[in-house]
Amino acid sequence: MTRRTRTLLIATLLVVAAAVPAVGAAAAGPATGTAPNDGPGAAGHQPAALGAGAGDAPIAQTGANCEFPITETDATGTDVTLEERPERITTLNPSAAQTMWEIGGEDQVVGVSQFALYLDGADSRTNVSAAGFGVSVEKVVGTNPDLVLAPNASSTETVRALRDAGLTVFHFGESTTIADVREKTTLTGRLTGNCEGAAEANAWMDANVEAATEATADAEDVRVLYPLGGGYIAGSETFISAMIDTAGGANVAAERDLTGYPQINDEVVLELAPDYLVVTGYSSYLLGQEPYASTPAVENNNTVSVDRNWMNQPAPRSVVMGVRTLTEGFHPEAAAEADFQSREEAVAAMETETATATESQPITDTATETTAEARTTSAGATATSGPGFGVALAVLAVLGSALFARRER
C-alpha cells in the first residue's frame, strides 16, 4: 500500500495539558477550541505556511549569520532591530526558554515563566509569570531585558504593553511543522548571537526525526488519539500530531478533519475508537474515565505516557525526546533498531559533512566576485541584514530538500 510522505505538522506549546478548562461534553459534535499558553489560536497570529515531510533531508546550518546589527520582522509585522548582541533576555513561555537552553544561551536569560522552571538552573532566574496563566508586565520590565522572546501564544496585548514600556520584543509566529521549529531555532540563534548552538540543536533534532522516520517506514501506522481533558483533544495540523505522525502513528482526529485543539463529545471519542492513547502525568487520570476507558486503546492496554514538556513544547529537545518516546510506544521493535543519536554524535556528523562540503567546493574568481556582489548593496550595506532574510533562506532550503525526499512503501 502506497504511503504518502509523513507530514511533520509541528504544533504549538500546550504547557499544561490538564489545564484546558473542564467543560461539559459538546451537545452534537466537535466544537473548535484553542490550547492554553503556547497553543494555537493566539490572537493576531497566522500559522506558518511552510511544511516538510518526515523524510526530508536534514539541513546543515553551520554558516548562519550572527553579525550585528540585524533586523528581523516578527509575527506582528514589526521590524525588530538589534544593534548588538543582547546580554539580558527574558522568555515569556517555556518553548522559548527551552530553545535558549538548547542553543547555549541560558547564561543570557534573566527571566522565565513558571512552566520553564524544569530547566536546569531556571529557578535562579526571575519568574515573570502572573497569577494563573500569562506573564506580569511589571515583572518582565523589572528584569531590565535587552530582548524579550515572546512565542506565538503570548497575547498581542502583552506584547504591545511591553513595547509601550520601552522594551524590545520579538513575537514569534506559530510553529506547525518540524521545518517551523528548525526555522525558529535558527532565528532565535540569530537574534541572540548563538548561531552555532542553533545549528547544533537543529542537527540533533533532524538526525533523530530522520531515524524515527526510517525506522517506522515499513510499519503500519497505529491509530492514535491524544486527549487533553475537558473533552479537548489534539487535532491534526498541530505540533502534537506531527510528533505522532513522525513516530509511526496516525492521529484519528484527522479522520474527522478535526484540526487544532477541538472539543468533542463522548460519542465522537467512541466512534473514533483509537487503538492507542497518548497521555502525560497530568492527563493519565482520563484512562480510568469514560469515554476513554471504553476505547480499544485502554481495553488492550495500548497507552503511551510522555513527559508533558516533551509533548507540548515546540523546541528541539521536545522533538527529539517526544518522537523517541512515541516511537518506542507505538513500534518498540522498530525503535530498538532505530539509529537515534546523541547530540554529540549528531554534531560530529554535521561537522564532518560541513568539512567535506567545504573541501569539495571549488573556489574561483567568479564565485568570489558573485559572493561579494550578493553581500553588498550599492550603498555598501550588508544585504543579509534586511528583515527576514535568514528566514527566507531557510524556507527555500527546506522547500528544495522536500522535492528530493518523498518516500513510498
Please choose, from the candidates 83, 355, 61, the residue with its C-alpha nearest in 3D space to the C-alpha of residue 194: 61
Query: What pLDDT does residue 336 have?
Result: 97
Looking up residue 93, the CATH number of its domain turns out to be 3.40.50.1980
- pLDDT at residue 298 greater than cutoff 70: yes
Grid coordinates representing 65? 549569520
- Helices and strands: H and E segment counts in the chain: 14, 13
Residues 272 and 292 in one domain: yes
Using CA atoms, how far apart are residues 403 and 211, in angstroms rounded to an integer? 19
C-alpha cell at 148: 524579550
- What pLDDT does residue 177 have? 83
Write out the residue range of the structural domain in which residue 123 sits.
Answer: 70-208
pLDDT at 357 over 70: yes
* pTM for the predicted model, two decimal places: 0.74
> Is 368 among the domain residues?
no
Please name the residue that has the C-alpha cell 519568574: 127
Beta strands of 147-297 (E only): which ranges? 147-150, 169-171, 222-225, 227-229, 232-233, 249-251, 276-279
For residue 151, the model assigns a pLDDT of: 94
pLDDT tens-digit series, residues 14-65? 433 323 333 223 333 333 333 333 533 232 222 222 233 333 334 344 445 7
Q: Look-up: residue for cell 523517541?
A: 324
Identify which has the larger pLDDT, 348 or 61.
Answer: 348
Same domain, 269 and 193: no
Task: Report if residue 155 sits inside a domain.
Answer: yes
- N-term to C-term CA, the chain: 6
DSSP code, position 7: B
* Domain closes at, from 318, 337, 356: 337
pLDDT in tens, 196-214: 999 999 999 999 999 999 9
- In total, how many domains does the chain have? 2
Average pLDDT over residues 343-370: 71
Among the listed ranges 62-66, 130-134, 191-195, 257-261, which one has the minimum average pLDDT value? 62-66
Is 222 part of a structural domain of the chain?
Answer: yes
Chosen domain end from 145, 177, 208: 208
| 95 and 196 co-located in one domain | yes
Both 42 and 162 in one domain: the answer is no
Q: Are 113 and 36 in contact (CB under 8 A)?
A: no
The answer to whether residue 166 is domain-embedded is: yes
As given in the structure block, the three cell numbers for residue 79 are 521590524
Domain boundary among 293, 316, 337: 337
Residues with Cβ within 8 Å of 30's Cβ and at least 6 positions away in sequence, in order, are 256, 258, 262, 263, 264, 265, 268
The span from the CA of 146 to the CA of 186, in Å, is 19
Is 114 in the same domain as 237?
no
* Joined grid coordinates for residue 333: 521493535
Alpha carbon 142 to its chain centroid, in Å, reads 28
83 and 133 in a single domain? The answer is: yes
Q: Are residue 32 and residue 161 in the same domain, yes or no?
A: no
Residues 187 and 97 in one domain: yes
CB contact at 8 A, 97 and 116: yes
| Residue 132 pLDDT | 77
Looking at the structure, tell me whether residues 78 and 197 fall in a common domain. yes
Same domain for 201 and 75, yes or no, is yes
Residues 6+ apart with CB under 8 A from 66: 189, 190, 193, 194, 195, 196
How many other CB atoms are there within 10 angstroms of residue 164's CB atom?
9
Lowest mean pLDDT among 198-212, 269-283, 325-339, 393-407: 393-407
Tell me how crowded residue 356 is: count the other CB atoms within 10 A of its CB. 10
The confidence band for 362, taking pLDDT boundaries of 50, 70 and 90, is: low
